[in-house]
Amino acid sequence: MSDSFVDLHSHSTASDGTLAPAEVARVAVRAGLAGWALTDHDTIGGVAEAGEESVRLGIDFLAGIEISAEYPHPGTMHILGYGVDPQNATLSDLTRQLIEGRDNRNPKIVKRLQELGVVISMEEVEKEAGGVVVGRPHIAAILQRKGYVSSIKEAFNKYLAPGGAAYFDKERLSPRRALEMIVESGGIPVLAHPVQLRCESDEKLEAVVRELMEMGLAGMEVMHSDHTSELVSKYTAMADRLGLLKSGGSDFHGGNKKDIELGYARGQRVPREFLDGLFERLRSGGVAKAVRE
Ligand code: AMP
Ligand code: ZN
Ligand code: FE
Ligand code: FE
């Protein structure tokens, strides 16, 4: 049993978290962690700052990204990419495509809200986001601040989630494309929070995971704030059986998800062996392509 812990799933102001990347590094140190990964949605805009502060503080750091792939409703498929190379051309292509998908969606949401009588503009939303990744949590924050809803949750239920009055989906990459692009970017693709796929059976989940493995999936996030201890055991057994790397993290978003604390996946600590496994895989070939060039 490990006595040293990490958190391999977190968000900063570069996407929809409320703390700056360097601040997340400081919180990681205060949480007593030996290492952490920043996994902002659709961007690596925060990893340089996060990495520099981590070096200064003497805590291990792994650059990451979280990508939403196409998957049938009501499930959602998110793929984590660990160790992607910030200099890689495929990575710039990837993040550009993802941001374009958002840029097409956000104005539609804002226009529908305006039609519904909400006083809101794209300028306000961009200001709220403060970076390149502009998403629904930023719109939700404005709705709450202006008193249209009393919580972020209500903003999603009433307006922004599927079934809400101003819901629009964003364009997503196919799972195959998302996995390929992470690998081409020098990273390790890991299936995030498998519970959110909402598979109706373990057999179905295993079939989905095996299909992803044929496309390059190398790991599974077994510990996460949405995973009960029963699910953690189940996913751990599945990852071990299928020969997948294991990952785990809180999915920390700062004040945007107030019940989630950095360093804890639903009360459980994530062993540093998970981070070591990822570093080991990266050393033994994951980024070889990028390094050799
Ligand atoms: P977006 O990137 O614009 O698609 O928004 C995704 C973000 O919205 C993620 O951080 C989610 O955790 C958050 N989110 C999605 N659905 C809900 C919901 N029903 N309630 C609160 N937050 C949500
Ligand atoms: Zn998020
Ligand atoms: Fe996610
Ligand atoms: Fe996340």
Structure confidence by residue, pLDDT tens digits, 19-60: 999 999 999 999 999 999 999 999 999 999 999 999 999 999
Q: What are phi and psi of 211, to 5 degrees?
A: -65, -40
Work out the average pLDDT over 96-107.
Answer: 93
Among 88, 96, 79, which Cα is nearest to 43's? 96
The pLDDT score that the predictor gives to residue 49 is: 97
Question: Element (H or E) spanning 38, and its range?
Answer: strand 35-38
* Strand bridging mode 270-271 / 5-7: antiparallel
Work out the average pLDDT over 89-93.
Answer: 94
Identify any residues that bridge with 35 across adjacent strands, giving them in sequence order. 6, 60
**Binding site membership of 91 for ligand 1 (Cβ less than 6 Å):** no
Which residue has the CA at smallest separation from atom 18 of ligand 1?
156
The pLDDT score that the predictor gives to residue 172 is: 92
Question: Which region, left, alpha or beta, applies to residue 106 given φ > 0 means left and ψ of -120 to 50 means alpha?
Answer: alpha
Contacts of 189 (CB under 8 A, 6+ apart): 79, 80, 81, 178, 179, 182, 183, 216, 217, 218, 219
Predicted confidence (pLDDT) at residue 289 exceeds the cutoff of 70 = no
Q: Report the nearest atom of ligand 1 relative to the CA of 134.
A: 3
Work out the average pLDDT over 187-203.
Answer: 98
Which residue has the CA at smallest separation from atom 6 of ligand 1?
136
Among 110, 126, 125, 99, which Cα is nearest to 41's? 99
User: How remote is the CA of residue 268 from the centroid of ligand 1, in Å?
Assistant: 23
- Ligand 1 site-directed mutation target among 102, 150, 160, 173, most atoms within 8 Å of CB: 160
For the whole model, what pTM was predicted?
0.93
**Given the structure tokens 């929809």, which residue do they identify?**
16
Work out the average pLDDT over 141-162.
Answer: 96
Residues having C-beta closer than 5 Å to ion ligand 4: 66, 251
Whether cis (ω within 30° of 0) applies to the bond prior to 107 is: no
Q: Quick one: pLDDT band at residue 293, thresholds 50, 70, 90?
A: very low
Question: Element (H or E) spanning 80, and its range?
Answer: strand 77-82
The pLDDT score that the predictor gives to residue 1 is: 54
For residue 144, give both structure tokens: 């709450």
Q: How far apart are CA 209 and CA 219, in angstroms?
A: 10
Predicted confidence (pLDDT) at residue 275 exceeds the cutoff of 90 = yes
Q: Across the chain, what does the average pLDDT equal?
A: 94
Work out the average pLDDT over 267-280.
Answer: 97
Predicted confidence (pLDDT) at residue 209 exceeds the cutoff of 50 = yes
Helix axes 136-145, 122-129, angle to 10 degrees: 110
Work out the average pLDDT over 101-125.
Answer: 96
Helix ranges (DSSP H) in 170-245: 175-184, 202-214, 229-242
User: How remote is the CA of residue 36 from the centroid of ligand 4, in Å?
Assistant: 14
CB-based contact 32:5 (threshold 8 Å): yes
The pLDDT score that the predictor gives to residue 291 is: 34
Which residue has the CA at smallest separation from atom 2 of ligand 1?
135
Burial class (CB in 10 A: 0-12, 13-18, 19+), 56: exposed
Q: Quick one: pLDDT band at residue 180, thresholds 50, 70, 90?
A: very high
Predicted confidence (pLDDT) at residue 290 exceeds the cutoff of 50 = no
**Binding site membership of 159 for ligand 1 (Cβ less than 6 Å):** no
